Amino acid sequence: MPTSPPTLADVAERAGVSRQTVSNAVNNPGLLREDTLVRVQDAIAELGYLPNRAARNLRTRASHLIGLRINPVQEGTANALMDRFVHSLVETSGAVGYHVMLFAGDGENPLAGYDGLLRSTTVDAFVVTDTYLGNPQTAWLAGRRAPFVAFGRPWDDPSAAHPWVDVDGAAGAEMATVHLIDKGHQRIAWIGWRKDSFIGEDRRSGWTRAMHAHGLSTTALACRVEDTVSSGGEASAKLLDEAAPTAFVCASDTLAMGVLHTLYLRGLAPGRDIAVIGFDDSQVAQVVHPGLSSVRQPLEELAVEVVRALEGLLGHPPHVGPGVLLAPTLELRASG
């Protein structure tokens, strides 16, 4: 920068008022007389004044920064929620004066990073996303009375008092299954994650619910595997051999890609011979031939709710609303 930016004092001098009056013009314009306000605002505009963040942060004991820990990209999977979520969060929080600051998780210790940022008052609050890991952060943060909003329900502790926002995975799987039933399918298989995944079991319950509600049996039509393409491929091959399903609903697009792979090897056409629906509406689902139908999480809407919760948390007095559960949508393409 050529020279240091103008300060409150510069504006005050130019407008012929005191520094406090300028501060009021910025933060409580209602307090000023009309003509004074105009004069100060003119001076602000002429000088291109903007309050110094560090000074304001020091004084108000707030950084207007939201901390978000990001994990390494999972190569070889179709997982790409974060990209969309992060962007939505940045947009939404920016609109109410907050910025998103990223920090890295080291995988080993999920708490790493949180503590330091809190103690150094670098961030005002956190958005915690990887609540599926068994969730030590949320408990720890809650114990520390640190403000945070979780993307993900407190599965293991329904009485948890922190604000959260989540997507109704069961409703998503149910929607996909009902759609297939409406198209005439009766033997609809489920390929999901291992039983220790709350999210996986939740999604699976939507499939079960839809099947049973329509008087259809789920026996031998489900399996639980690792979230990899090859697992999805093997699971679908086995199911095709042993249970002859006409459709698959999967807990992820990654698994669904495995199913498409198996169909391809067997000369079966997705959508025509066998229907396939994935989960998350990843870029992969969008560009793969012939198009993979998928349950799409409303991440934009979710970010709005997260920011709303954040505002409550950081308000005076702080306010914690009830958890918010959003309904996903079904993106239909040629596969289902």
Spatial neighbors of 65 by CB under 8 A, at least 6 apart, are: 98, 99, 100, 101, 122, 123, 124
Instruction: Name the one range near its own copies by CB under 8 A: 9-17, 18-26, 77-85, 161-169.
Output: 77-85
The least distance separating DNA from the CB of residue 137, rounded to whole angstroms, comes to 25
Q: What is the CA radius of gyration of the chain?
A: 26
Instruction: Name the one range near DNA by CB under 7 A: 5-13, 158-166, 223-231, 305-313.
Output: 5-13
User: Which DSSP string corresponds to 16-43?
Assistant: TS-HHHHHHHHH-GGGS-HHHHHHHHHH
- What is the DSSP-derived secondary structure letter of residue 246? S
Closest residue by Cα to residue 260 from 283, 243, 284:
284
Select from its own copies, DNA, none the partner in contact with residue 122, using the beta carbon and a kind-dependent cut-off of 5 to 8 Å: its own copies
119 binds its own copies (CB under 8 A): yes
- What is the DSSP-derived secondary structure letter of residue 274? B
Q: Tell which positions 149-178 bind DNA, by CB under 7 A.
A: none
Cβ contact 241:199 at 8 Å: no
- What is the DSSP-derived secondary structure letter of residue 128? E
The least distance separating DNA from the CB of residue 25, rounded to whole angstroms, comes to 8
**Residue 5 or 290 having the CB closest to DNA:** 5
CA distance 116 to 319: 25
90 binds its own copies (CB under 8 A): yes
Burial of 120 (0-12, 13-18, 19+ CB in 10 A): exposed
- Helix or strand holding residue 333 (H, E): none
The least distance separating its own copies from the CB of residue 76, rounded to whole angstroms, comes to 5
19 binds DNA (CB under 7 A): yes
The least distance separating its own copies from the CB of residue 96, rounded to whole angstroms, comes to 13
Taking CB under 8 A as the criterion, the residue among 8, 11, 78, 149 binding its own copies is 78
**Residue 38 or 50 having the CB closest to its own copies:** 50
Q: Which residues bind DNA (CB under 7 A)?
A: 4, 7-9, 16-21, 23-24, 26-27, 31-33, 35-37, 49, 51-52, 55-56, 58-61
